[in-house]
Amino acid sequence: MSEPIIELRNAKIYQGNNLILEDVNLTINKGEFVYLVGKTGTGKSSLLKTLYGELPLSSGEGMVAGFPLQGMDWKQVPYLRRTLGVVFQEFQLLTDRNVNDNLKFVLKATGWTDQKLMDEKIADVLDKVGLKAKGFKMPFELSGGEQQRVDIARALLNSPKVILADEPTGNLDPETSDEIMHLLFNIARDYNTAVIMASHDYIVVHKYPARMIRTERGRVVDNASINIE
């Protein structure tokens, strides 16, 4: 049975005083993989930032992982974000420490204190992304695909209910992109984690079909099709 993890109803999304998207109605279920497509400047990032609590939802209703978005107090935002994993196109790893210490930094920042539990969690997420033996490597010693896997491992640390992936294959070659796509689809299926992936890469979207949401002309179009531009 489908169980919603994200819902937006009659939402208007603003960036400052500028209305970016209006009349947004959207439901995404647990374990669902969804693409977010659209030309640059049509509101993809604004939609992701609203789900992430960076942009306030001032009109309409929204729910992410049980947290109401409308009228959310800034003190609640960190708790919302602990239910989310975010994966960026730029890997954003700390270059002065190894993979294990990159992950430990995030755990400590989100309230973990027990050293043994942290070590176990780090070993677990690195195993999930196929980097079990790479924890002692520095970021510069890893390939681009491996760095992206570390980024995904970091997103998995707090067992998120939703992963927001912003162009995660944007800087990768086709073979490595395939590996990352398999990984993201497996995470959605195996851990019942909803994955929303913003992408410009229509080759990837064609190769790994899934439900598609498109931003265009101030609206969100559900179950969209691709127009190759």
If you compute the radius of gyration of the chain from its CA atoms, what whole number of angstroms results? 17
The pLDDT mean for the chain works out to 91
Residues 86-104 have a mean pLDDT of 89
181-221 pLDDT tens trace: 999 999 999 999 999 999 988 889 999 999 999 999 999 99
- In a domain, residue 84? The reply is no
- In a domain, residue 149? The reply is yes
d(CA 71, CA 69): 6
The number of domains in the chain is: 1
Q: Does residue 229 carry a pLDDT above 50?
A: no
106-132 pLDDT tens trace: 999 888 999 999 999 999 999 999 999
162-187 pLDDT tens trace: 999 998 998 889 999 999 999 999 99
Q: Does residue 90 carry a pLDDT above 80?
A: no
Secondary structure (H, E, C), the chain: CCCEEEEEEEEEEEECCEEEEEEEEEEEECCCEEEEECCCCCCHHHHHHHHCCCCCECEEEEEECCEECECCCCCCHHHHHCCEEEECCCCCCCCCCCHHHHHHHHHHHCCCCCHHHHHHHHHHHHHHCCCCCCCCCCHHHCCHHHHHHHHHHHHHCCCCCEEEEECCCCCCCHHHHHHHHHHHHHHHHHHCCEEEEECCCHHHHHHCCCEEEEEECCEEECCCCCCCC
pLDDT at 135: 96
- In a domain, residue 63? The reply is no
pLDDT at 111: 86
Domain that holds residue 120: 90-159
- In a domain, residue 153? The reply is yes
The residue type found at 14 is Y
**In contact, 54 and 78? CB cutoff 8 Å:** no
d(CA 10, CA 139): 43
- In a domain, residue 60? The reply is no
pLDDT at 228: 43
- In a domain, residue 27? The reply is no
d(CA 31, CA 163): 10
Q: Does residue 227 carry a pLDDT above 60?
A: no
20-59 pLDDT tens trace: 999 999 999 999 999 999 888 899 989 999 999 999 998 9
- In a domain, residue 186? The reply is no
